[in-house]
Structure 1
Amino acid sequence: MRRSPQRERPARLRAVVLLALLAVAPALRAAPPPQAFVRTAEEGQALLLKRLGECYAVTPAHVLGDELFASLTGGHSRRPQGDGDLLQTFGYDLAILHVTGALAGFCNGSPVVAAGLEDRLATADRGVLTSVNADGSISRRRVTLSDVGLLYLRVRPERDRDQLFKGLSGSLLLVGDRPAGILMAVDADTGEGRVLRYDRALETLRPFFGGAGRAARRAASPPKPAIPRTGPAPEVVSWNVPPLDADHRAANLVDGRQTVWYASAGSFPVEVVLELPGDKTSVVQEVRLIGRGVAPAARLPRDFEILVSSRPDGHWLPVATGSYIRTEQEKTVGFAPVRVRWLMLRIYSNWGDPAAVGLAGIEVPVAR
């Protein structure tokens, strides 16, 4: 019995859709990962890759030098900030950092080798080198491929404005709008860049993304004894200015330990956002700013503002302004009760220290 045209049409349509999905699947798997600007021993670049809900940054190990910590700024108009802790180094001058902070929410790259890279390199003679600037903007430099090897590619700037320099290490090379390599070094004499092939890089990192990441992370971040606290603490979820170093990160504000947070004083206003514990909004009517331990006292905030929000889209309501007197050990800022999920401290100035502004803690009592 012959099928009717009406019955054949859905089956034919399903076959066409399936073939279309199979055709685009390799391109989807090889989509360029997000990138970030890296500030540590040197300035450089990183690729952001995700595994089991955690965010990791891949950067040349020489960018870190002997440092175990880096500040990262995402390539996005919001300039998301992140802390990067060194987890492991690999051959070919590669290193992996565990990323926390707002930047982790922009991490959606997949550690999958780009399909068809060999064919693209065999026929292409041009590419684009993408990097993130300190302000989160993206730069794209047109390059020509001067040599293609089994491990490395060599690229040359196509125009005068596409010149390569030291701070670009870790930039992503795109060929045919798909990942082809990671810039590892720039020859100061010729201006050429040495690029580690993308497939070789991800093959080198595969042991980590294949299951070693969790163990490495636990070994790299041993817990410190905490001072007992009353009730659950809020979590620092984002900030807009990098910390001075690994020992003075924004998470120190709520860790319950005798630690201090310092951020650069050159980029006011300085903002820190806290998320209150629990799955629902909480009633808040005061915030305590702890300055005990901040030294010199000129690093303490001077003029500040407290803002709150109950929405994840960043709709902020100002509830209090004030000045922190540098002789105060702590300051309680009261305001009318309000139901919130997120709270922002926005600092407009400090007491004159040109290097940093900071606090030892922020406490947000929740009404019962």
Structure 2
Amino acid sequence: MRSIVFVLMLMIGYISNGFAAQVVVLSNDTPPREIGQGFLTAYGNQCLLIMPTHVAQEGGVNFRREGRVSIFGSVSNGHDLGDDVSLFSVRGVNIGQCGSSMSILPRAVDNKLRNARAVQTRFINGDGTIGQMAVVVVDNDQAEYLRIKPLIEGEQIFKGLSGSLLTVEGDAIGMLLSVHARSGVGTVIRQDTLLKKAEQFLRQIGNVVKENEDVDQQQSSLKLIAWDSLPIKSTTSDSESKDLSTSTMRFAYAGKPVSLDYELLTKGNALSGIRIDARGIPEEERPKILELMASSNATSPSWNSVKTQRLEFVDGVATMMIAPRRAKLLRLKLSHATTSGATSTPDVYLGVNDIQTLP
């Protein structure tokens, strides 16, 4: 076993241009638990999430992307690539937020290690901030795995860090898979091996999105593409809210509006209103205020406020009527705030069944 010791150099927050955006993977419990890590990368026009298989098996459905802006997503179709590595299609994160293309992610693992001045694990906290731990590489099989341990005595690599990236001066060289309970040594799959595994799979199947996902969208006038609050379990169902386009949506409410971004699927048609179905949603969880915003540019959205209205539900359904207009994207900002701006405590959840446009 070869031991390689590196001089510690703090580079908090630094990442290279060829760096995938990282996420913290959250359970579907209330409140959610941070159960692991993963990273986003683009492949063609797809945004994909790679994380350890055991993290997904522990209930990793939702995730939060790194950064101060709240960007949440959920996994959809998943594939086990072997060696405790899985790849998923995602919802809630667009290509522009996905990070670098898989094709340009760094792969020169051994070269990076030979010239390294610092090696760290990089992970994302529950609030989107970046955490790092200086480590020592204690073994390199130069084929599949690296093994690491903390550089500073007393620090520990704990279970929730599975999926963290091992970095050398801003470049990822591997993903942490596990840590030995007694020795504290972590096992890392090398980045070159991981990416080769993912690319071989993707070349075989092309697109990881389920065929029936597009069919589901044909039955709706809207496609949910982004949200800024954490989806949680429904009070009336044991199902997980991982398919937000076709199931009851229930979000953690932290006293600020929950923003839902939609793509209009009825191209060229004007809309005259919004219909919100909250049948079966407890009264205290139904939104009280809706602000509707629109953008005519889908690539670089420029949001214009259309109307703000207090919602009145009749038989569980509320509508907002507007002057007919065309748009490519809609943003619905739903809140429990009263018209005076006060928050209706102790409401901590916000839920709806379905949202549709009115022609």
- TM-score grouping bracket, smaller chain normalisation: 0.7 to 0.9
User: In the superposition, relative to structure 1, how do residues 212 and 226 fare at CA in structure 2: closer, same or farther (>3 Å)?
Assistant: closer
Q: Which amino acid aligns with 1:78?
A: V
Moved more, 348-357 or 171-180: 348-357
Residue number in structure 1 paired with 2:44: 52
CA contact (8 A) 2:45 2:95 kept: no
Residue number in structure 1 paired with 2:74: 83
* In the alignment, structure 1 residue 102 sits paired with structure 2 residue 107: no
For residues 35 and 349 of structure 1, the distance between their equivalents in structure 2, rounded to whole angstroms, comes to: 31
User: In the superposition, relative to structure 1, how do residues 272 and 139 fare at CA in structure 2: closer, same or farther (>3 Å)?
Assistant: same
For residues 104 and 324 of structure 1, the distance between their equivalents in structure 2, rounded to whole angstroms, comes to: 37
The alpha-carbon deviation at position 331 of structure 1 amounts to 1.0
For residues 267 and 193 of structure 1, the distance between their equivalents in structure 2, rounded to whole angstroms, comes to: 40
For residues 89 and 292 of structure 2, the distance between their equivalents in structure 1, rounded to whole angstroms, comes to: 30
Residue number in structure 2 paired with 1:182: 175
The alpha-carbon deviation at position 313 of structure 1 amounts to 3.6
CA contact (8 A) 1:157 1:164 kept: yes
Q: Which amino acid aligns with 1:134?
A: G
The correspondence for 2:287, drawn from 287, 290, 301, is: 301
The alpha-carbon deviation at position 217 of structure 1 amounts to 4.0
The alpha-carbon deviation at position 94 of structure 1 amounts to 0.6
Moved more, 183-192 or 42-51: 183-192
SS at match of 1:114: coil
The alpha-carbon deviation at position 104 of structure 1 amounts to 4.2
Moved more, 337-346 or 129-138: 337-346
The alpha-carbon deviation at position 189 of structure 1 amounts to 4.2
CA contact (8 A) 1:38 1:73 kept: yes
The correspondence for 2:275, drawn from 273, 288, 291, is: 288
The alpha-carbon deviation at position 90 of structure 1 amounts to 2.3
- Unmatched 5+ stretches in structure 2: 1-15, 29-33, 234-238, 338-343
User: In the superposition, relative to structure 1, how do residues 76 and 278 fare at CA in structure 2: closer, same or farther (>3 Å)?
Assistant: farther
Q: How many residues align?
A: 324
* In the alignment, structure 1 residue 331 sits paired with structure 2 residue 298: no
SS at match of 2:61: strand
Residue number in structure 2 paired with 1:263: 251
For residues 339 and 223 of structure 1, the distance between their equivalents in structure 2, rounded to whole angstroms, comes to: 25
* TM-score, with length taken from structure 1: 0.75
For residues 153 and 285 of structure 2, the distance between their equivalents in structure 1, rounded to whole angstroms, comes to: 43
The alpha-carbon deviation at position 323 of structure 1 amounts to 3.3
For residues 339 and 30 of structure 1, the distance between their equivalents in structure 2, rounded to whole angstroms, comes to: 37
CA contact (8 A) 2:157 2:186 kept: yes
The correspondence for 2:189, drawn from 185, 196, 216, is: 196
Residue number in structure 1 paired with 2:53: 61
* TM-score, with length taken from structure 2: 0.76
Say what the alpha-carbon RMSD is for the aligned residues.
3.4
The alpha-carbon deviation at position 266 of structure 1 amounts to 4.3
* In the alignment, structure 1 residue 242 sits paired with structure 2 residue 230: yes
For residues 310 and 223 of structure 1, the distance between their equivalents in structure 2, rounded to whole angstroms, comes to: 25
* In the alignment, structure 1 residue 71 sits paired with structure 2 residue 62: yes
For residues 267 and 56 of structure 2, the distance between their equivalents in structure 1, rounded to whole angstroms, comes to: 38
- Unmatched 5+ stretches in structure 1: 1-28
Q: Give the structure with the higher percent helix.
A: 1
The alpha-carbon deviation at position 170 of structure 1 amounts to 0.7
* In the alignment, structure 1 residue 138 sits paired with structure 2 residue 126: no
The alpha-carbon deviation at position 86 of structure 1 amounts to 4.2
For residues 331 and 365 of structure 1, the distance between their equivalents in structure 2, rounded to whole angstroms, comes to: 12
SS at match of 1:62: helix
User: In the superposition, relative to structure 1, how do residues 109 and 164 fare at CA in structure 2: closer, same or farther (>3 Å)?
Assistant: farther
Q: C-alpha deviations, 1:98-135, integer Å up to 9, x for none?
A: 11223443223315673432233345473122222222
